[in-house]
Chains A and B, each alone.
Chain A
Amino acid sequence: MEFTGLEQGLLFTVIAVFAAASVLSAGVVSGARRGRGLRGMLLAGTGVLTALLIALWIREGQIPLVNRAEYTIFGAWILAVGAALVDRRINHPALVLVSAPMVCLLCLFGWLIALRPGDAGPDTIHPGVFVHILLAVIGLAAFTFAAGIGAYYLWQIRQLKRDPASALHQKVLPLEVLDQLNFGAAAVGFPLLMMSVVGATLFSSRARGDVRGLLLDPTVLVTVGGLFVYMMLFGARGIFGWRGRRIAWLSVAGFLVISLGMLVAAFCTSPNLFHST
């Protein structure tokens, strides 16, 4: 896939804005800077990202969810919009600190994938595949957010246990709020990704008459592995009442499993079988 000059300009603007927001939010959270303009940066970056998706939509004549570069950028957009919505309720620099670097990385990742030749995707996609991709992208964006919050939670308990004096200098969200955000985001992501995988399996088995081939697809395998980690998370919370550190670890682990699979699938294998179906 190739970006036009305008699209590339918009993409680099998004990367620059979210990189700047990441640096500024780190300063605000550490107590070294004031947070003026942080929310504006988050909204401006989300606005430019929206403009980029609209530009892609107009050029391609369909919602830009056709190839991996577009899924990634769309995922970044979902993450940015989600962070902006949560920020409207909570209004805390920690949210920008968690989401901005991830949006920045996803956009950069999308640009790198686009440089790979031969991944332009089909001219049109089947509505079933479109729903599968949309659900998966939203689910993965939610897991990304949950993992960011989880990592931040782990860093914060380390601070509060080892060096409470410096923890008080920082502008951080209370642990209980982080725990709720982490669990909430995972709870949003899990059913969406599950529906995406199950729906696509049914769709694919009907089209091919056989699902065995799907089980060998690395993307499917890894996604199912990641979903299993998240199932453990919900089970541990529901049955044993796990909270805090353990839930944060599971959230980070689930995300790492899924993102590692996506990374391998993006660079080392052909598009997954749902798509080729």
Chain B
Amino acid sequence: MNRYAVIGLSHKSAPTSLRERLQAGELASALESARGLAEEVVLVSTCNRFELYLHDLRDENAVYDWMAARARMDRDHIIDHSFVRYGRNACKHLFFVSSSLDSLVVGETQIRGQVKESYRLAQESGSVGAYLHRLFQSALRVSKEISETTGVGRGSVSVAGAAADLAERIFGELHQNRVLVLGAGETAELLVTHLQGRGVDRFVILNRTPARAAELAARCDGESGGLERLVAELPHADIVATAAAADGKPLLDVKTMRKAIRSRRGRPVVALDIAVPRAIDPRVDQIDNVYRYDMDALAAVTKDALRHRRSEFLRCCSMIDSASLRLDAGARAGEAGPTIVAVEEAYRATARQTIAELERKLESLTGEEREVMRRSINRLISRLLHLPKRALRNSNEEEREMMRRVFAPPSGEDLEP
């Protein structure tokens, strides 16, 4: 476990400009050039992080040199913005990353796939051995467990996401719904992008300046026009989003909405008022089958989701602790294997020697008695070795070395008193 290391930069330690320079170019060639840094290497490169997971790191400085060369920057500048973790802390770091607990938006779902992809690339290039294989398998397992059993990824933490979630509660899947957007600014664009991600492909963009509406409509393959088309378009829209500020009076009043609902024969409408000041008359909420959500309501949803995610954080930490302990125990048992074999072999050799001497001295023993003697000595050896073997499975490298010296001295020093 002590031989694991992670060196890298993330959104927490380095600015985007630096991360961008490291991320430039192909990942496969970057990984190829990093192979000499350690026995095993995996490079995780996403928009928020650039991290090298290593086993049997040869020289930490060589990693900084490699990063500096890649970013074409001063080595000290890289060191200032990077972090390094060893042993169990390195393993736990990967568990946090793959479970999205170290992400910019805690609970986002992309990172698990990105870690998986990085691992796959490293496997293809042959830079992964048994140790990093075990580490990444554990990380992917724990991230799956966390996403399935905790609420860390539940709920949307963006206004657009919360709006889409609420619309889904009313219509189910959104791909058959028509969306009318009033406004063509940045907020409108964000909402359109988000809804496109949920499968919506029928947009109508209306704006005071029709040319700007046309620009956004071209991006989402929708229709566009001026605000005067609102009354005509409203009855056909399942979701109405206002992202344009109202000039004194609301863009959408109760009368217009009531008329539209009547034309729709009661089919529900989700009215998203993401403009400040509000552009939809709050009283439209009293109309049957109209679900109006303004910025306050959507912000409350996102706040609640964030609070919920934070409340799950401690639970996730304890799951990660358990996973890292399991990995540690597995690693120790694996690493102790050769020492256990050496100790057992030394004792068995002594036992064989003793049996041979006894058989020479006690010639009068029958075959059956000899067999009983052999079995008894072997059983004694097994019992004597039981506790040392158990201790070895839980030992660190130093303790293993000490036990090897005590129980299995190098050839020449026999176990005879």
Contact = CB atoms under 8 A, between A and B. Distances in A.
A245 B301 contact: no
Contact of B304 (A165, A173, A174, A244): A165
A54 to B, nearest CB: 38
B120 to A, nearest CB: 30
A241 interface: yes
B291 to A, nearest CB: 6
A177 B300 CA distance: 26
* Interface hub of A31, A34, A165, A176 (most chain B Cβ within 10 A): A165
B154 A169 contact: yes
Nearest to A167: B169
A244 B266 contact: yes
B268 interface: yes
A164 B297 contact: yes
B308 A164 contact: no
A160 B291 contact: yes
Given A165-B304, A168-B301, A160 B289 contact: no
Contacts of A241: 264-266
B295 to A, nearest CB: 13
B155 interface: yes
A201 to B, nearest CB: 35
A101 to B, nearest CB: 23
Contacts, number: 71
Contacts of B308: 169
A169 B155 contact: yes
Nearest to B267: A243
Interface residues of A, number: 24
Contacts of A167: 166, 169
A interface SS class: helix
B268 A244 contact: yes
Given A168-B165, A168-B301, A241-B266, A161 B285 contact: yes
A243 B290 CA distance: 12
B172 interface: yes
A161 B270 CA distance: 11
A247 to B, nearest CB: 8
Interface string B275-295: 000000000010011010100
A175 interface: yes
A59 interface: no
B170 interface: yes
B301 A165 contact: yes
Interface of A: 31, 34, 156, 160-161, 164-169, 172-177, 240-246
Top-7 shortest CB links A-B: A241-B265, A243-B266, A174-B172, A165-B304, A165-B301, A241-B266, A244-B289
Given A161-B285, A175-B268, A242-B266, 18 more contacts: A160-B291, A164-B301, A165-B301, A165-B304, A167-B169, A168-B156, A168-B166, A172-B169, A174-B169, A174-B170, A174-B171, A241-B266, A243-B265, A243-B268, A244-B289, A245-B288, A245-B289, A246-B266
